[in-house]
Structure 1
């Protein structure tokens, strides 16, 4: 009987996985100030929100900052419990699960002050080539029109590269979060002296909710439960 109990205990421990054993949630992120970044206070505002939710449930958060596409792929391969921050999209939900919102981000277009873009519907943007970051979700309508070839885009690896292209008039506009633009204009050496050449278009694409994305693994599922409970105010 004693041996049977020991075997059952061992099986339960294995089924629970490493997350339950060491109570550490491992997430991937990127340098995307002011939301996330290895050199930001508390790892950025989004990281601080997620860490608070995790610690409220008695867990520890471990964040690795990677290039965005690497963070997504590493989570897909099960090397992390999840990644953040991400926008909702049907494409993301094909492979991953989402947390409750961890904040919002005003997504729009950065443009050159000397050549503002006028548009009323997303379809109107088809007359321009729009800068985007490779691997980023934008809005459902915008991404649908890009996939259909209606909107022409030019991809860069980072928001900073896109903003520089707009400042240099290499593209007329680029998709960017307005808070990210504000932060980079204030802090990026590459944009020093260029801030007065840039502005956000007066019309937003969308005020987007931000989420943590979870791998469909046992530890990813448990991480989602922990974070959602913590975001809701705790399980007490």
Structure 2
């Protein structure tokens, strides 16, 4: 997702414990993106649960710290950080290599049912005021139109705030990951009054393919090799399903 996730970013450093009986630790930094990534949810959300289970097959364990998306992006090049997750290949920054893809999710447009958006290409969105979460990267064609001052995109602090702007007619549409939309519309008390007013546009903006970006150095490439050996898209998806069976009220 970008959520999963908008550029969507999780950054981390690696520390090795002194006790020989303990695993080496991968310390990742992430942001709130429920139900997949959240400090407030059981086991820190479905995505973190799945990653921790996958890493049990390696010599590494996982620790996660949550920060706002923009802060995560600003600290990526500081010393000590090994990589970030989730990332798509089109948003992979220089100096990083991407792990195997293990999650795919549609990036969508949310709209008001009373004002559905008719569009086929990004240029068709020029007449509209668009909401996007600060820190979520736009696609190349979207960013090019923003840079040319043809596409009007306003920032929100998080997906819930973005949906509230849409519901209150402050923007005409927003970009959001499909499962994030379903989860927030189902669980957010602030969005409950608007459950019948908002919907996902049927046209998919993009099918995002996510992995982990590891910094291109010897130490972190060893970590990526271990992770790649342990992970598969089928395994990750199965663990996501397992998480929602354990916590059915959180299922999108």
CA deviation string 1:142-190 (max 9, x = no partner) = 2333233331111112111111100001000010011101111111222
Cα contact 1:96–1:214 (8 A) shared by 2:
yes
**In structure 2, how many angstroms separate the alpha carbons of the residues matched to 1:72 and 1:114?**
36
Residue of structure 1 in register with 2:198 after alignment = 198
The residue number in structure 1 matching 2:145 is: 145
Matching of residue 103 in structure 1 with residue 109 in structure 2: no
In structure 2, what is the Cα distance between the partners aligned to 1:85 and 1:132?
17
Is the Cα contact below 8 Å between 2:57 and 2:230 reproduced in 1?
Answer: yes
Q: Decide which structure has greater helix share.
A: 1
When the two chains are superposed, the root-mean-square deviation of aligned CA atoms in Å is: 2.3
Q: In the alignment, what sits opposite 2:166?
A: 166
Number of aligned positions between the proteins: 217
Partners of 1:149 and 1:99 in 2: how far apart?
Answer: 35
Q: Partner residue of 1:69?
A: 70
Question: Which structure has the larger Rg over C-alpha atoms?
Answer: 1
Q: Retained in 2: the 8 A contact 1:29–1:84? A: yes
| Structure 1 CA distance for aligned equivalents of residues 90 and 147 of structure 2 | 14
Contact 1:99 1:224 (8 Å CA) reproduced = yes
Structure 2 segments unaligned to the other structure (5+ residues): 1-13, 236-252
CA contact (8 A) 1:46 1:102 kept: no
Deviations 1:24-73 (A, max 9, x none): 11111111012211122332222223222322113111111111122233
CA distance in 2: counterparts of 1:149 and 1:97, whole angstroms:
32
Please give the TM-score of this superposition, normalised by the length of structure 1: 0.82
Closer, same or farther: CA 174–95 of 1 in aligned 2, 3 Å: farther
Which residue is 1:224 aligned to?
224
Query: How far apart, CA to CA, are the structure 1 residues paired with 2:62 and 2:99?
Result: 15
Q: CA deviation at 1:93?
A: 2.6
Question: Does the C-alpha gap of structure 1 residues 147 and 56 become closer, same or farther in structure 2, counting only changes over 3 Å?
Answer: farther
